[in-house]
Amino acid sequence: MANTLISIVTMLAALGPGSEPSAPCNESIRQQDLKADLYFLAGDAFQGRLTGTAGNNLAAEFIASRFERLGLKRVGSDVSYFQPFLLSTATLGPSNKLEVTRDDVTLRFRAGQDFVPLPFSPSAEVRNSLAFAGFGISDPERGHDDYRNVDVRDKIVLVLAHEPGENDLKSPFDGLVMSEASTPLRKVMTAQEKGAVGILIVSDVHNHPEPENFEALAHGLWPEKPPRILQYTLQDWAERVRIPAAMISTGLARTLLRGAKSSFEAVARSSERPQNGSNGMIEGARITLATDVSRHVVPDRNVVAALEGCDPKLKDEWVVISCHLDHNGADGDLIYNGADDNGSGTVGLLEIAEAYALAAQQGHRPKRSVLFAAFDSEERGLLGAYAFVERPLMPLDRIVAVLNMDMIGRNEEVPVGGGSRFRGLAIQSAESNRNALNLLGHSYSPSLTRTIEQSIAPFGLTLKQDLDNNVSNLLRRSDHWPFLQRGVPAVFFHTGLHPDYHTPADRPEKIEYAKMERIVRLVHQASWDLAQQADRPRLEHETAPATSR
């Protein structure tokens, strides 16, 4: 009787409004089911689902058990629902050294006060002359190559933090969004590729206030007591870094440039345009740099399952529906339940997976295959999603699109005096956003965005597209971002930040379940349309998205 009723609902839904037929079993996505799952997953028993904890492991097992109950295909390691990967943490040893020799005079600088090794640096020691390479970015496609006029082979290279034009709406990188090329790890890898034997990174003082207390910054990287939340990197990345890497104070940078024709500030400012910059050798200085860093490997895993498509040709192409399952754990009796962030996206993923499984039981399979992915360690730097693109379960060029859900359970609310975490966002009330849904990544693939726009009519939602070029950096703060960096069309569904974001007050009783039901149905519909349509979205990102807030 139940299956007959679902079939009738499915046929009626197929005759509903919208430019595309309704996805089969879309009506099976119900707010009461979302609520039941979220009260469980964001309950105190999971202790905030922090990476490396029993609560996080329990959440992964819960998701896998649901995939198994639905009869979805195992596509993980050893025919399982898990994709394992390795993280790396680090501890700082006592033998860190930085010396500058000029005119037979050696100055010795203090670790933790004048310089500090970066956590992904290996233990190594080098001694050689010093070269300056602007921001340390080589991106000829965007017309910027700090290494164009400087040979850093066998040299220690000094570079600036961040990127040129970071406050320029029309920056050739990602507009106001900090680009992947600006990350310290990418700068180290670029220097290594150019033949440098070591790298020093210093603040770009013409774009940011000079750090008042470098020692406090160093303690932030290497706290004396182990923090509640550890700092991780991907072990795959850590293994590739072979050269010692450190941050230095602006005072040390001025010492290194002593005797140069221009001041440190002038040299930094000129680096905005490398063709006019002061890149090259820093005469007379020889540097000894030693880093003492021990790495510790930590196992982690994503949870993955698949529904195979029915079309003989298109079933080798994939639509990925994703979320992240982790949050920020517990501090004593204070539990960061993470109901919205991102229990909401996780239970949404489970409901969409169930809709596909029910439809398959009735003989309705999509043409393309669908991957359901719950990434871990998003809060630690999108590491689960980065692990996926480093070792994808299928060729990345066979992924048609990624639909990522992260914080889809509340209304965006930016209060007066909300502080730095609301930077770049206009003051707005929750009531004003009761039907609003942010779509991030829309400017990277207009054809993917059009598919979503064509799917939205039955769900009564207003699709806001004004955050792709915003100093909030929200565009690069969820698991769609690693896919965009690898050329895969990907978008991020997000109802917005609110005062309970990343606090113990982010609890399941505050979720807007009726609205979340509509959002999850939209994502299901859009994924079905992408799996059915003959054409696939294209990545067409202009270097500087035109939208801003």
Q: For residues 413 and 236, give the distance between their C-alpha atoms in angstroms, rounded to a whole number.
A: 38
Quote the pLDDT of residue 239.
Answer: 97
The overall pTM is greater than 0.75: yes
Q: For residues 144 and 172, give the distance between their C-alpha atoms in angstroms, rounded to a whole number.
A: 9
Q: Which H or E run contains 16?
A: none
SS3 459: helix
Residues 6+ apart with CB under 8 A from 437: 408, 461, 462, 463, 464, 493, 494, 495, 519, 522
Quote the pLDDT of residue 16.
Answer: 41
Asked if residue 347 lies in contact with residue 340, where contact means CB atoms within 8 angstroms, the answer is: no
Provide the residue-wise pLDDT of the chain in tens; the chain has 549 residues.
444 444 444 444 444 434 468 999 999 999 999 999 999 999 999 999 999 999 999 999 999 999 999 999 999 999 999 999 999 999 999 999 999 999 899 999 999 999 999 999 999 999 999 999 999 999 988 889 999 989 999 999 999 999 999 999 999 999 999 999 999 999 999 999 999 999 999 999 999 888 778 999 999 999 999 899 999 999 999 999 999 999 999 999 999 988 677 788 999 999 998 766 667 888 889 999 999 999 999 999 999 999 999 999 999 999 999 999 999 999 999 999 999 999 999 999 999 999 999 999 999 999 999 999 999 999 999 999 999 999 999 999 999 999 999 999 999 999 999 999 999 999 999 999 999 999 999 999 999 999 999 999 999 999 999 999 999 999 999 999 999 999 999 999 999 999 999 999 999 999 999 999 999 999 999 999 999 999 999 999 754 343 333
- Which class would CATH give 94-291? alpha beta
In SS3 terms, 54-86 reads as HHHHHHHHHHHHHHHHCCCECCCCCCCCEEEEE
133 token code pair? 């390479």
Asked if residue 113 lies in contact with residue 308, where contact means CB atoms within 8 angstroms, the answer is: no
Quote the pLDDT of residue 278.
Answer: 65
Quote the pLDDT of residue 4.
Answer: 40
Q: For residues 205 and 185, give the distance between their C-alpha atoms in angstroms, rounded to a whole number.
A: 20
Q: CATH 3.40.630.10 spans which residues of the chain?
A: 2-87+298-532
CATH of domain 2-87+298-532: 3.40.630.10
Q: CATH 3.50.30.30 spans which residues of the chain?
A: 94-291
Q: For residues 539 and 329, give the distance between their C-alpha atoms in angstroms, rounded to a whole number.
A: 36
Strands 369-375 and 399-405 come out as unpaired
Quote the pLDDT of residue 277.
Answer: 61
